Amino acid sequence: MLGSPDKKLKIIHITGTAGKGTTATMVQEILRAQSWRVGLFTSPFCTTSIEKISVQDKYIAPNEFARLVEKVKPAIDKMARRGEYGGPSYFEIFVGLALLYFVEKKCKWAVLEAGLGGRYDATNAIKHSEISAITNINFDHMDVLGNTLEKIAGDKMGIIKPHSEFFTTERRAKILRIFARACIKQKAYFHIIETKNLPNSFSKNAALATAIAQHLKISPAAIQKGIARAKLPCRFEIMQKSPLVILDGAHNPIKMQSVAESLRHLSYKNLVLVVAMAQDKDAQKVAQIIVPKASRILTTRFLITERKCTHPCELARIFGHFKRKNVQVQAFLDPHHTLKTALRAASPRDLVLVTGSFFLTGLLRERWHPEEWVLKNRASF
């Protein structure tokens, strides 16, 4: 109903349990460094919804966003009245807006990050992709994708399109066999990226982005430049020093493990943890990774009504189970008050880590970069 804008774009489609947003941003920056006109669609946003759609590293302007919403309203209304499945979802509308915007801005390329899974994700409405990629497979969104790695992989591999190029940094043989079968069925070319000796998740994401760029015959200089300037809000983002404050929206075990690895490279005295988590996340496994490092734990909530948040008192009980002796655990309803309390409690040599949800980190990021600033500058930094 929107004219199939995806058919006018060359698309790189990326999913995975962790690192897909970072990888998508790296690929976008590499293509831009090569002087190719490129649009980027990511999920979720941190502070304001325009962060999901950008062209040439600039978020869609608020007035252009509003104009496009008005443009798609007739299609939304028609689907709501006559569509077999009712009106489109919030996320489906966003994907449509992004593709329309990329075509309007004469983008040659579009990099799409899947929202959840792959096969049934709204981004997978595209008819064809030049390249698809899966960063890795792990446990997350089990209520939707399934409770085994095989089921999760089976859903995510649904983005592999006929005669496309498929890339992954996943290494487990049983998962790779699932991907291989999908590639054979779709007559797609299968590329496995070696990451055995790479030290962390960032370098693995960079290796995946580099492999995609090399396939597109992008110059080494553009690849290096693109990876160097790839940056996302609320991904181990340093907001201030003395005390050091870091925001990271890690909400599952594999993402929190990456945070824990990154902490090893920092020098600080005590870790003050500010955390909120959605009800559908594995708070116990996340706590098991990060809580033993904390000297003080402050649980809170986010204020997004679309997602159910674990009550701060319940989260305090879960996180308290893994704490060291004499470590204080407190629960707060107001996230802003929680951050103020943490900052007051921290000494200049301490680290305050805000984590567990992009909804929480995006909300508290406004202390340093208010929503109005992001909207005006069409940038997060």
Burial class (CB in 10 A: 0-12, 13-18, 19+), 139: middle
CA distances from 78 to 65, 73, 123 (A): 21, 9, 21
Tokens 């939304």 found at: 76
Check if the beta carbon of residue 135 is closer than 8 Å to that of residue 168.
yes
Mention every residue, 6+ apart, whose C-beta is less than 8 A from residue 147. Answer: 139
Check if the beta carbon of residue 252 is closer than 8 Å to that of residue 17.
yes
pLDDT tens for each residue of 149-179: 999 999 999 999 999 999 999 999 999 999 9
Pairing state between β 328-331 and 271-275? unpaired
Q: Which residue ranges make up each domain of the chain?
A: 5-231, 237-371
**Domain 5-231 classification at class level:** alpha beta
Q: Of 306, 299, 308, 234, which is closest to residue 278 (Cα–Cα)?
A: 308
The DSSP 8-state label assigned to residue 161 in this structure reads P
> Please, which residues bridge with residue 205 across strands?
none
Alpha helices in 53-168 (DSSP H): 62-82, 90-104, 142-145, 149-156
CATH number of this structure's domain 237-371: 3.90.190.20
* Start-to-end CA span in the chain (Å): 36
pLDDT, averaged across the chain: 95
Check if the beta carbon of residue 124 is closer than 8 Å to that of residue 159.
yes
Instruction: Find the angle CA(236)-CA(293)-CA(301) to the nearest 5 degrees.
Output: 60
Ranges under pLDDT 50 in the chain: none
Please state, in angstroms and rounded to a whole number, the distance separating the CA atoms of residues 123 and 116: 9
Mention every residue, 6+ apart, whose C-beta is less than 8 A from residue 26. Answer: 205, 206, 209, 226, 227, 230
Q: Of 196, 158, 227, 211, which is closest to residue 16 (Cα–Cα)?
A: 158
> Please, which residues bridge with residue 245 across strands?
240, 352
Token pair of 162, please? 């006929």
> Please, which residues bridge with residue 369 across strands?
none
Mention every residue, 6+ apart, whose C-beta is less than 8 A from residue 31. Answer: 38, 109, 111, 213, 216, 218, 226
Q: Of 291, 299, 358, 362, which is closest to residue 332 (Cα–Cα)?
A: 299
Alpha helices in the chain (DSSP H): 20-33, 62-82, 90-104, 142-145, 149-156, 173-186, 201-215, 220-229, 253-263, 283-290, 312-320, 335-345, 358-365, 371-377
> 237-371: same fold as 5-231?
no
pLDDT on residue 369: 96
pLDDT on residue 142: 65
pLDDT on residue 139: 78
Check if the beta carbon of residue 294 is closer than 8 Å to that of residue 323.
yes
Task: Please state whether the predicted TM-score (pTM) of the whole model is above 0.75.
Answer: yes
Q: Give residue 128's Cα distance to chain centre.
A: 22
pLDDT on residue 157: 96
Mention every residue, 6+ apart, whose C-beta is less than 8 A from residue 56. Answer: 32, 37, 38
Please state, in angstroms and rounded to a whole number, the distance separating the CA atoms of residues 291 and 41: 33
pLDDT on residue 305: 62
Q: How many CA atoms lie within 13 A of 317 on its CB side?
A: 4
pLDDT tens for each residue of 83-97: 888 999 999 999 999
